[in-house]
Amino acid sequence: MDKIRIVGGAPLNGTIPISGAKNAALPLMIAGLLTDETLTLENLPRLRDVQLLFQILSNHGVDHAIQGKRNGQDDMTGQTVDLSARAIVDTTAPYELVSKMRASFWVIGPLLARMGEARVSLPGGCAIGTRPVDFFISGLKQLGAEIDIEGGYAVARAPKGLAGGRVTFPKVSVGATHTVMMAATLAKGDTVIENAAREPEIADLARCLTAMGARIEGAGTSEIHISGVPRLSGARHRVLPDRIETGTYAMAVAMAGGDVTLDGASADLLDAVLDVLRGAGAEIDVLNHGIRVRRNGHGIDPVEVTTAPFPGFPTDLQAQLMALMTKAKGVSHITETIFENRFMHVQELARFGADIRLDGETATITGVERLKGAPVMATDLRASVSLVIAGLAAEGETTVNRVYHLDRGFERLEDKLSRCGAEIERLSA
């Protein structure tokens, strides 16, 4: 398996282009199942998760065509892809595919809405907690589906089609909100989703569904109203910029020092994160076309942060912030409230000489003067990138093993960082 080798110590200077958001791209691609016309997605990131989802969708009968050719090594822009689900040939999403990626479970909503049946393996994905699917099941049942778990599969049926209903989630869930919203677009009558996730990726999906002819109001707030329509058409939609990739590189600059423009980033998606970074001593300027992040000379100040659903501080940036705080001038506290087991980076950060103590859902990080490079490995995507960030600021050589996870969610990571002066390369196995 490939590895990433880093020699730390170089500041980052230059421009990093921000890709389309993985967590928007995946539900948008799944929305392609809702229509027999072509859905064209622009700015789709080139990621392992996107590739895997092409495979899963093609198993259901969705064709995809990538427009144009990649423009050599210098092309850093996302791809434009046509998705066509003219006929759904199979309503089963098999274990071998779904177990590799959590979001693939979300096909259950569109398949049920369009075909009246779906048989979807219980999902896998990042090992960051138990991640049950009870909200999906209760939500879809509110729309009239019958669902049983049989042999590790959620087997769902709605022989007379779905009907609108009131869905109240006990806890905010991004995936359950995406799934019920997609299912409700083709249900008979009106649906209300209460305690809906407010993440920008929900609003992005709703914009795309609306362009396809869906009738949705309130996406981006905690109450979404959907009036079902008999069919959806094709549309063209541009995937919004990746706020987690943006925050990750902003933290890398705050940690390694330097001056980087995150081109194409949208500051509106990152208010809570930018406030924390300012509090940590980074200079942040919001530009028309992106965000400029600087830290020159000033040390890193400690912070107190608790993760929360949007608009709070995202759990997907918790590991990266923890890496940053390992070199702060004092003691920081980071509390994780979304996933019960999202601290796998703690023991790996310790290999660099970081001082982190865990007590339940709170990590206490006492900043150290110097980190030293080490061989490290992580078992989830954001934990893996937190090790890259630490490696950039550590003295000497770091090897990040199991690059598989990084490739799930970061487009050309080593390319983007090395263009800004980092000494980072991929070692192919």
Ligand X SMILES: C=C(OP(=O)(O)O)C(=O)O
Q: Which residues are annotated as a binding site for phosphoenolpyruvate?
A: 22-23
Binding-residue pattern over the window 294 to 333 for ligand UD1, x denoting contact by CB under 6 A: ---------------------xx-----------------
Cα(38)–Cα(235) distance, integer angstroms: 7
Among 89, 96, 129, 299, binds ligand UD1 (CB under 6 A): 129
241 binds ligand UD1 (CB under 6 A): no
The values of phi and psi at residue 278, to 5°, are -65, -45
136 binds, among ligand UD1, ligand X, none (CB under 5 to 8 A by kind): ligand UD1
Q: Binding to ligand UD1 (CB under 6 A): which residues in 136-195?
A: 136, 171, 173-176
135 binds, among ligand X, ligand UD1, none (CB under 5 to 8 A by kind): ligand UD1
We find the least distance from the C-beta atom of residue 128 to ligand UD1, in angstroms, to be: 7
Spot the catalytic one: 126, 232, 244, 388: 126
**Token pair listed for 338:** 């979304």
Give the three-state DSSP class for 295: strand
User: What is the distance between the alpha carbons of residues 348 and 54, in angstroms, rounded to a whole number?
Assistant: 33
Return the structure tokens found at 222: 């905690």
d(CA 24, CA 33): 15
- Taking CB atoms, the residue at the shortest distance from ligand X is 125
CA distances from 275 to 45, 194, 261 (A): 27, 29, 17
Is the Cβ of residue 180 or residue 256 nearer to ligand UD1 in the bound state? Answer: 180
CA–CA distance, 375 with 381 (Å, rounded to integer): 17
Instruction: Single out the segment in contact with ligand UD1 by CB under 6 A; choices: 31-39, 134-142, 160-168, 328-336.
Output: 134-142
Tell whether omega for the bond before 94 is within 30 degrees of 0, i.e. cis. Answer: no
Query: Site residues for ligand UD1, window 187-226 (CB under 6 A)?
Result: 197
CB atoms within 10 A of CB 148: 10
Q: Residue 213, SS3?
A: coil
| Residues paired with residue 216 on neighbouring β-strands, in sequence order | 226
> What is the chain's length?
429
| Partner interacting with residue 101 (select from ligand X, ligand UD1, none; CB below 5-8 Å by kind) | ligand X
Identity of the residue, 110 or 125, whose beta carbon is nearer to ligand X in the bound complex: 125
- Assess whether 420 carries a catalytic annotation: no
- The region of 125-133, 275-283, 357-365, 390-398 touching ligand UD1 under the rule CB under 6 A is 125-133
- Lay out the sheet containing 79-84: strands in order across: 63-66, 79-84, 38-44, 235-238
Element containing residue 172 per DSSP (H, E): none
Under the binding rule (CB under 6 A), the answer on residue 26 touching ligand UD1 is: yes
Binding-site residue numbers are: 22-23, 102, 171-174, 316, 338
The residue ranges that bind ligand UD1 (CB under 6 A) are 23, 26, 102-103, 129, 131-136, 171, 173-176, 197, 315-316, 338-339
Which residues form the catalytic set?
Answer: 126
